[in-house]
Structure 1
Amino acid sequence: MGRAPILYVNEIAYPILAAFGIPANLVTAVILHWGKCGLSRGITRYMVAMAISDLLVIFFHVLLREIYMYYQPNSFLSLSAVCPSNIYLRIVTLDYSVWLTVSFTFDRFVSICCPKLRLRYCTDSTAAVVIMSLFALSCIKYIPFHFMFETRYITDNVNWGCQPKAAYFTSKWWVAFSWMITISLSFTPFVLILVLNGLTVRNIVVASRVRRHLKGLEGKDSETENRRKSIVLLFTVSGTYILLWTTETVAFICTRITVNIVGEDYTSPSYIANDVGVLLMLLSSCANTCIYGMTQSRFREEVKNVLKHLGQFIFKSMKLAPHSA
């Protein structure tokens, strides 16, 4: 019997995702940190934090779990003493990345729809406080992960792997914690991004109509064109997030409703749906960079400059290599 097709998909997709996502998010964070993209300091803080959090997601989820642990199943990361901490770091980085996206969406909502609040909220200091607070909350609310696992099997007196304790599926406290994970990581961010982007788009459309009516403009002006670009950006952001998170959100909620976990039957519909959902979910760590970064013309210019200087450096190094040898 041949191997399941989903395994071949993962073996191809995850290395590509790591090869693109790690340098893309790293370059994005560095370029945005330089502050030459014409963005406010508050927005720049959010975007740098998002790039770094997405980089951490790719590192812990893709590079370590889906690649290293897949090909090295008996590494130190699989020890029972290390396994819970490894899972904890994965869930914390993913939660932090998701809520940074929500907070950035809320910041843009306030900036466009709440002019009075914008002066107090959309500032560099507020962005810094929100970013640090979200990180602290992500670390705190998943502390129970350190206590919910037990050894999976023992070989030569060495404890390997970890699996949820039986109480995780029966205790009302663990069931409540399980639902908290679902609500915090999938359902609430999903709904908030939908609502905030919907309200923002509605405000932009209404304001554009009023502007055209007051100015008596039949064609386009610069302000209307900027608002149109904002609508395109918002629809792209919300559409991409919904597209990449829908499968995993549905699978995540279904496992909580049935109080069950996905087994290891690689051909079962539940396993395939969960695996595809995880892949799409992790792909969003690269999509954020493309959406929030590459839509900025100055950012694209900075990327071209970085690639140009990098190419010149490599070319000079290659020319000097024979002489040094």
Structure 2
Amino acid sequence: MLFKVFIESFHESCDSSRLDSFMRVNVVAMVILSRGKCGLCKCVTYYLIGMAGVDLSVVIFDLILRHIPIVFREQFEFVLHIPMCNIHSALLYAATDCSVWLTVTFTFDRYVAIGCKRLKQKYCPEKTAAVVLGTVTFLSCSIDIYWYFILAGPYWRGNQPWFCHVPIKDMLSVVWGTIEFLHYILTPGVPFVLIMLLNVFTLRHFLVSNRDRKRLRAHSCGESTRDPEVANRRKPMILLFVISANLIILWSVIMLFSIRTRMYYQGYEAMYLHWFVQEMGFMLQLLSCCTNTCIYAVTQTKFRDELKNVFKCRFLRQSYDE
């Protein structure tokens, strides 16, 4: 009953079509990938399903729970008197960190599959992928639980994105600044560096391997110029690079603004950035959790075919009901 009232209130106060679109995008991706008809190995499929599921949780925690002070302002006053924002912050940071670090593990998995043949047999099976997904999720939830104890205050409902209210004296303290810097270094600073390095190593090995295969095929006779093995390797490579670039680009704005704001609070005059940059950064960060389905559709032919089949089934069902 409580969940029903919550959803109804949220749809009345917010743009429900935007919420439905964000959630359906990730759900559709999970359904299509779970069928196993996209031409990807099970290991890659597990990672992509896990990433889509975590992105869906980010959308729920960031779009739905962030509007609790609006939705429950009249119906349930007690929500404002319990540490709901502390719970919300722990869940949101855990889901966000998990989304970023799963991209790192997926990048490392592709590097092992392409550049480390000896380690490939031990690391790349689907059982290992399931263990890695569970470990990253558990570590993200365990590490980010400290936000529950750090943030102690009601929701901030000013002319800025709503979240936990932090007193100015705490934000100006060295302890808070150290915590924020460590948080930005772990997510997304270190993942950015790891993703770029792994992509460089993967691309280097991919190019060297392709050059060697071309030389071998040049000495053979009666073979076609098109190498199916290279074509099969190219698809996951394109998918990997696009997902990595999508994460780095869409996270860069909020990361730059957060570092600039922290330097300002610590007394270092940095470049001026308007507050709308923060709002744009939040929007792009949230968008990074909703664009993977578009990436799959652009880079994977079989995924596009499965997506068309889903839409056809839906339209046929609607026409049958009418």
- TM-score by length of structure 1 reads 0.79
Q: Which residue of 2 aligns with 1:30?
A: 31
- From the superposition, tell whether residues 242 and 15 of structure 1 become closer, same or farther in structure 2 (CA, over 3 Å): farther
Q: Which residue of 2 aligns with 1:47?
A: 48
CA displacement 1:180-239 (0-9 Å, x = unmatched): 211121101111111111111111111112222232289553334444545543432332
Q: Which amino acid aligns with 2:73?
A: N
Q: Which amino acid aligns with 1:53?
A: V
Contact 1:57 1:90 in 2 (8 A): yes
- Whether 1:316 and 2:320 are equivalent positions in the alignment is yes
- Whether 1:185 and 2:187 are equivalent positions in the alignment is yes
C-alpha distance in structure 1 between counterparts of 2:207 and 2:150, whole Å: 48
C-alpha distance in structure 1 between counterparts of 2:58 and 2:279, whole Å: 16
Contact 2:155 2:165 in 1 (8 A): no
Deviation, structure 1 residue 118: 0.6
276-285 or 34-43, which moves further after superposition?
Answer: 34-43
82-91 or 223-232, which moves further after superposition?
Answer: 223-232
- From the superposition, tell whether residues 220 and 179 of structure 1 become closer, same or farther in structure 2 (CA, over 3 Å): same
Q: Which residue of 1 aligns with 2:242?
A: 236
C-alpha distance in structure 2 between counterparts of 1:308 and 1:297, whole Å: 17
Residue among 242, 252, 255 paired with 2:258: 252
Q: Which residue of 1 aligns with 2:4?
A: none
Q: Which residue of 1 aligns with 2:303?
A: 299
C-alpha distance in structure 2 between counterparts of 1:233 and 1:153, whole Å: 39
Q: Which residue of 1 aligns with 2:11?
A: none
SS of 1:179's equivalent in the other structure is helix
CA displacement 1:74-124 (0-9 Å, x = unmatched): 365655521111122111111111111111111111101111101000011
- Whether 1:58 and 2:59 are equivalent positions in the alignment is yes
C-alpha distance in structure 1 between counterparts of 2:298 and 2:65, whole Å: 27
Where do 5+ consecutive residues of structure 2 fail to align? 1-13, 157-162, 267-271
Q: Which residue of 1 aligns with 2:160?
A: none
C-alpha distance in structure 2 between counterparts of 1:269 and 1:15, whole Å: 31
C-alpha distance in structure 1 between counterparts of 2:234 and 2:299, whole Å: 13
C-alpha distance in structure 1 between counterparts of 2:69 and 2:292, whole Å: 26
- From the superposition, tell whether residues 229 and 296 of structure 1 become closer, same or farther in structure 2 (CA, over 3 Å): closer
Q: CA RMSD for the aligned pairs?
A: 3.1
- From the superposition, tell whether residues 30 and 291 of structure 1 become closer, same or farther in structure 2 (CA, over 3 Å): same
C-alpha distance in structure 2 between counterparts of 1:151 and 1:231, whole Å: 45
Contact 1:208 1:227 in 2 (8 A): no
Percent identical residues:
36
Q: Which residue of 1 aligns with 2:208?
A: 206
C-alpha distance in structure 1 between counterparts of 2:240 and 2:54, whole Å: 21
69-78 or 29-38, which moves further after superposition?
Answer: 69-78
- From the superposition, tell whether residues 293 and 21 of structure 1 become closer, same or farther in structure 2 (CA, over 3 Å): same
Contact 2:85 2:155 in 1 (8 A): no
- TM-score by length of structure 2 reads 0.80
C-alpha distance in structure 2 between counterparts of 1:196 and 1:300, whole Å: 28
Q: Which residue of 1 aligns with 2:288?
A: 284
CA displacement 1:259-299 (0-9 Å, x = unmatched): 46xxxxxxx83421211111111111122222245532222
The count of aligned residue pairs is: 292
C-alpha distance in structure 1 between counterparts of 2:123 and 2:80, whole Å: 44
What pairs up with 1:121-200 in 2 under 5 angstroms? 121-152=123-154, 162-164=164-166, 166-167=169-170, 169-170=172-173, 172=175, 174-200=176-202
Contact 1:24 1:289 in 2 (8 A): yes
210-219 or 45-54, which moves further after superposition?
Answer: 210-219
Deviation, structure 1 residue 56: 0.9
